[in-house]
Amino acid sequence: MSKIWLANPEAHDFPAAIDYLELLMPLKEATALVEELKKVKTKNKKAKDILRASELPLLPKENIHVTANLEKFKNGKKLSPLLLVRSDGKLIIADGYHRICASYYLSEDLEVPCRIV
């Protein structure tokens, strides 16, 4: 995929996505969406576009998790692609909010791998 991204999400990303999505919808629906995320191909989208579509704020560099991800990038550790869900014309970052914020600080035009359903 690239020097800083894994080709596929890590196994622990999927349960994390279910945990988050369950706050927004019934567990059965959240689980079904994550099962779809497991099957779709990973594609690249620009960091700035993901943040705009999600309507979430860019977390500051000083955020402990953003800082940790920036350090991982710096140390050559590859990070998981984002898990994204389209819902009512908006984009839900089911897993990877801190990773997208960290990648934005590298370049807002950075191509970020993600899975979208």
| pTM for the predicted model, two decimal places | 0.94
Tokens of 57: 């704020």
Asked if 18 and 34 count as a contact pair (C-beta separation under 8 A), the reply is yes
Question: What single letter denotes the amino acid at residue 102?
Answer: A
Q: Each residue's pLDDT tens digit in the chain (117 positions)?
A: 468 999 999 999 999 999 999 999 999 999 999 999 999 999 999 999 999 999 999 999 999 999 999 999 999 999 999 999 999 889 999 999 999 999 999 999 999 999 999
The per-residue b/e assignment along 73-98, b for 16 or more CB within 10 angstroms, e otherwise, is: beeeeebbbbbbbeeeeebbbbbbbb
Please give the domain boundaries of the chain with CATH numbers for all domains.
Answer: 13-116 (3.90.1530)
